[in-house]
Copies of this chain bind each other. A is one copy, B any other.
């Protein structure tokens, strides 16, 4: 079984843009690195990660984006946790647990893997390597600590705060000693932020008639750091409420990905009088430092300093709806798809 893209998407992505189809080859063939193929591994996929950036790959880009477009008719790829079932690669052996780029299918052949990390802490819940211990966790860490240059006591605002990345940014900021407020799209998520993740405050943006006023209420002194996950109207409201020398760490703009015509940001001029630094980043630029993060995050988890919420979809056939759900805010926490439990 595998999930393929049916056709390139413009505008709103739908579940029907993907298709779950049978795999033609037999399992015995799929489980083996083909004869003569060097530096290759076959992965048995356990957990797949649904991430907002994948929406961009469903659209044809000319010139190409930093991430290659999916190809209609071919399997969708993304981050996942897998077990090595065959290998001609010197760094990976049969039985290794790994996370990195894989396919939305049961078995994936990877030749010359670029992003594939051995899992150093298999005692952790393995699905965490699609989240807190994988790409989203490292994204939160890099985007907060490296891009936003945070200092103890600063005012930090996070959009999509109950998501895979946002929940961690807030917890990292609390560990540093910041004042942390998050926005999310349901009362359930807002409750999680306050009760489970230790945010100082949170609001349901769908219930706020004026986002700028909501931010003024939560940040009477203004915002030092905005961790940007959504873009659009929220970014405008934030710019209105930023403090002097504020920083915007731009991780994603999920509110815009399904729009044919993105919303314009009308108050970008505020970056000048407020001396704001706004910076976009891509976590893969920083993977050389991943191992240090892995140790830090595992330590935080073991010490109970960080908690992580996942939204689990059981079965590969649920993957398309799980991915589309991200853009509707259906997931509560990190959206994971279970292909196999072992």
Contact = CB atoms under 8 A, between A and B. Distances in A.
A11 interface: no
A278 B279 contact: yes
Interface size grouping (class) on chain A: 35 or more
A280 B248 CA distance: 12
Given A264-B263, A265-B265, A267-B262, A282 B278 contact: no
Contacts of A252: 272
Contacts of A115: none
A288 interface: no
Given A274-B280, A279-B278, A285-B275, A266 B269 contact: no
Interface in A58-73: 65-67
Name A's interface SS. loop
Interface in A135-157: none
Contacts of A264: 263-266
Nearest to A257: B269
A209 interface: no
Contact of A272 (B267, B273, B281): B281
Contact of A271 (B56, B266, B273, B279): B279
A202 interface: no
A84 interface: no
A266 B267 contact: no
B279 A276 contact: yes
Interface in A259-308: 261-282, 285
Contact of A269 (B244, B256, B267, B281): B256
A231 interface: yes
Given A274-B280, A280-B275, A281-B275, A268 B265 contact: yes
A256 B2 CA distance: 51
A274 to B, nearest CB: 7
Given A279-B277, A280-B274, A268 B231 contact: yes
Interface in A240-258: 244, 250-253, 256
A270 B65 CA distance: 10
A160 interface: no
A169 interface: no
A266 B261 contact: yes
Contacts of A270: 280
B268 A273 contact: no
Contacts of A278: 271, 277-279
Nearest to A285: B275
Contacts of A322: none
A222 to B, nearest CB: 10
Interface of A: 56, 65-67, 231, 235, 244, 250-253, 256, 261-282, 285
Q: Which 6 A-B pairs have the closest CB atoms?
A: A264-B264, A271-B280, A272-B280, A277-B279, A264-B266, A253-B269
26 contacts: A66-B274, A67-B273, A250-B271, A250-B272, A261-B266, A262-B266, A263-B266, A264-B264, A264-B265, A264-B266, A265-B266, A265-B268, A270-B280, A271-B278, A271-B279, A271-B280, A272-B281, A273-B280, A274-B280, A275-B281, A275-B285, A276-B279, A277-B277, A277-B278, A277-B280, A278-B278
